[in-house]
Structure formats: structure tokens, C-alpha cells
């Protein structure tokens, strides 16, 4: 499809407001009205399929801006725009960009598009000009000044908005409280809800683990290193819960030194029972770090030494009552 200038006769008629005889197509503006100085597109859609096998000639507006009327100017020539859907030419639209600097309602002139067939026949399609309304900016008649921008309206806060904000604050506070409660209960190894089962005293908890080790004879089922790791860790937990000694972070030598410091405060800690525990810990260090392999009798004696230490250092009933008080 070739674009060319429309014939001079069509150009002369386009400069007038008289509607020619014959079929006339409607045209539309992209909106009903504009303000002074605004721009607007004038759209003219060709009948479907009328362009098949023909060339389209368009009128030329020169120079730009071109006065279509005394008050309306064309800022562009006639521009053709194709609408293609699914690789098929659906429609062709001619467009002109307009503006005006005078307020009022103006009838736009008719615009021709010429169709030239392959045999030289020429048909002219006319588009009726629509009515363009141009509005001016409102002016204060007392001061003859344009109205300024209105300040933003401020509405009073309603009870519903206050209740909504209060509900959000309460909800956030509840979430924060719930998170803090969950963290604290996790640190204390407690269930999220409820009081949970009462925790066994340190000596009962330790004796349960040691008795399980002795009954199942774990030294025969495991290698020396994991067996003594379980045995010594059980004693470390007992020292932590019984005397608040941070045994999990101490070496065997440091644990023994801490027990000797507690000896003056706790009469249940004697040199004999501390010495037996030292023998068991030393044997465990050899098995864990020096690749020493104790005999079955040595392994069995180690668990008996650990049980005796816990049993003989367990607090009596009077001491328990004093701690509770």
C-alpha cells in the first residue's frame, strides 16, 4: 500500500466546510472537550476491506501548524494507523492531532481520503467533521485571576478508624508477647502451652541414663570413644544441674578443680568420691583422645564409678526442703 498526496480537487474541498454529495463517513474525537492549549486526536476509520487492491492518497496540510478553521489548528498531517490482529489487517485509521487557543464550540471541516484502483479509477471517501468544544480556565470575576489549586480536604478521624488502629496495636502487642513467650519456653525446654511434666531432679535424671547404659552394656555394642563420650556427658549435665558448674565448656581437669572448690561448701563431696570420678574421666580422655581401648572390666567399672558418684552426692531430703524454702 503506497501513501501519496490526494488530488488537488480533494485538497481544495478539504479547506472548505461544505459537505460534498455522496456517502459520508462519521469521525470521532478521542474525548468530548478540551481546555485551551490542550491537544486531541481526531480519528477516522475506513470501512472494512475498502482498501483492498487500492492505494490511499491523503491530503497534505502545509505548513504545520495548519489552520483547519480560524480557531482550530492541525499539529500533524493525516497519519495512517493499521490495526493488525492474528497477522490479519483488521482496520485502517486516519488520525490528525488538533489544538485550539480559543474557547468555544467549533465544527470541524470534512476531510477526504482518495482511493486509487489499479485501473486508475479514483474514489473519494469523505469524513464528516465532528464538533470540538474548547473550554477556558475558570476565572474569579471579582479579581480577574485564575482560580488556584484547592487545598487538600482533611476529614476528621472516625471512631471506626480509631478502633481499627487500636485493634492493630493490640494485635501487634499480642504477637510480640507470643514470640517472647515461645523463645523463653524453648530455652527452658518447656512445651509451648501448659506446665508440662515436672522435671526430674539432677541425680534422678543422671541415674536413669547411667542405669540404661549399664543395663544395656553399651560398651559392648559401641566403640570406646562414643561410649565414654555418652558417659562423661551425662556426668557433665549432672554437675551443671547439681552445682551450677558449666561443665559442658570445661576440660576434665577444669571440672575436677571446680569440684574441689565446691568441696568446702558441700559435705557430700569428699576426696574419695572426687578421686573415683577423676579416674573415670581420665580413662575416658584416654579412650576419646589417645585411642586407648579399655577392657570390658574397665568399661563396666567406669559406669559403676559414675553411678556411685551420683548416688553419694545426691542431696538428702532436708537439703531439698531448704532449697525449696
Confidence of residue 6 (pLDDT cuts 50, 70, 90): low
Please indicate whether residue 14 or residue 111 has the higher confidence score (pLDDT): 111
pLDDT digits (tens, 9 = 90+) for 246-301: 888 889 999 899 998 888 888 888 889 999 999 999 998 998 888 888 888 888 89
- Residue 18 predicted with pLDDT over 80: no
190 in Cβ contact with 249 (< 8 Å) = no
Domain ranges of the chain: 3-137, 202-324
pLDDT for 141: 65
pLDDT for 169: 93
Q: What is the pTM of this model?
A: 0.42
pLDDT digits (tens, 9 = 90+) for 7-17: 454 445 445 55
Q: What is the dihedral of CA 98, 104, 105, 107, to 10 degrees?
A: -60
CATH architecture for residues 3-137: Sandwich (2.60)
Rounded to whole angstroms, how far apart are CA atoms 311 and 201? 12
- Residue 316 predicted with pLDDT over 60: yes
pLDDT for 174: 93
Which of 131, 127, 101, 96 is closest to 37 using CA atoms?
Answer: 101
Confidence of residue 143 (pLDDT cuts 50, 70, 90): low
Q: How far is CA 110 from CA 78, 180, 197, 235, 268, in A?
A: 13, 78, 94, 104, 116
Share of the chain above pLDDT 90, in %: 28
Amino acid at each position: 500500500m503506497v501513501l501519496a498526496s490526494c488530488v488537488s480537487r480533494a485538497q481544495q474541498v478539504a479547506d472548505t466546510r461544505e459537505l460534498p454529495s455522496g456517502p459520508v463517513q462519521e469521525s470521532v474525537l478521542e474525548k468530548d472537550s478540551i481546555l485551551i492549549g490542550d491537544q486531541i486526536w481526531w480519528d477516522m476509520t475506513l470501512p472494512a476491506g475498502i482498501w483492498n487492491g487500492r492505494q490511499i492518497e491523503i491530503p497534505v496540510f502545509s505548513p504545520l501548524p495548519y489552520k483547519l478553521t480560524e480557531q482550530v489548528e492541525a499539529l500533524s498531517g493525516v497519519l495512517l494507523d493499521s490495526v493488525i490482529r492474528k497477522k490479519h489487517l483488521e482496520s485502517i485509521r486516519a488520525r490528525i492531532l488538533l489544538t485550539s487557543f480559543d474557547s468555544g464550540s467549533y465544527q470541524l471541516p470534512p476531510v477526504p481520503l482518495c482511493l486509487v484502483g489499479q485501473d486508475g479509477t479514483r474514489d473519494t471517501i469523505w469524513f464528516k467533521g465532528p464538533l470540538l468544544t474548547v473550554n477556558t480556565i475558570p476565572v474569579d470575576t471579582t479579581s480577574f485571576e485564575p482560580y488556584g489549586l484547592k487545598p487538600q480536604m482533611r476529614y476528621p478521624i472516625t471512631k471506626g478508624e480509631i478502633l481499627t488502629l487500636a485493634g492493630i496495636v493490640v494485635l501487634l502487642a499480642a504477637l510480640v508477647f507470643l514470640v517472647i513467650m515461645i523463645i523463653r519456653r524453648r530455652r527452658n525446654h518447656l512445651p509451648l502451652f501448659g506446665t508440662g511434666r515436672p522435671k526430674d531432679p539432677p541425680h534422678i535424671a543422671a541415674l536413669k541414663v547411667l542405669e540404661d547404659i549399664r543395663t544395656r552394656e553399651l560398651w559392648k555394642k559401641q566403640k570406646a570413644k562414643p561410649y565414654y563420650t555418652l558417659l562423661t556427658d551425662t556426668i557433665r549435665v549432672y554437675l551443671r544441674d547439681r552445682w551450677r558448674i558449666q561443665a559442658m565448656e570445661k576440660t576434665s581437669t577444669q571440672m575436677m578443680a571446680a569440684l574441689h572448690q565446691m568441696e568446702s561448701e558441700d559435705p557430700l563431696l569428699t576426696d574419695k568420691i572426687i578421686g573415683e570420678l577423676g579416674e573415670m574421666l581420665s580413662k575416658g580422655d584416654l579412650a576419646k583422645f589417645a585411642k586407648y581401648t579399655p577392657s570390658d572390666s574397665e568399661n563396666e567399672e567406669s559406669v559403676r564409678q559414675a553411678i556411685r558418684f551420683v548416688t553419694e552426692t545426691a542431696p538428702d531430703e532436708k537439703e531439698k526442703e531448704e532449697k525449696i524454702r
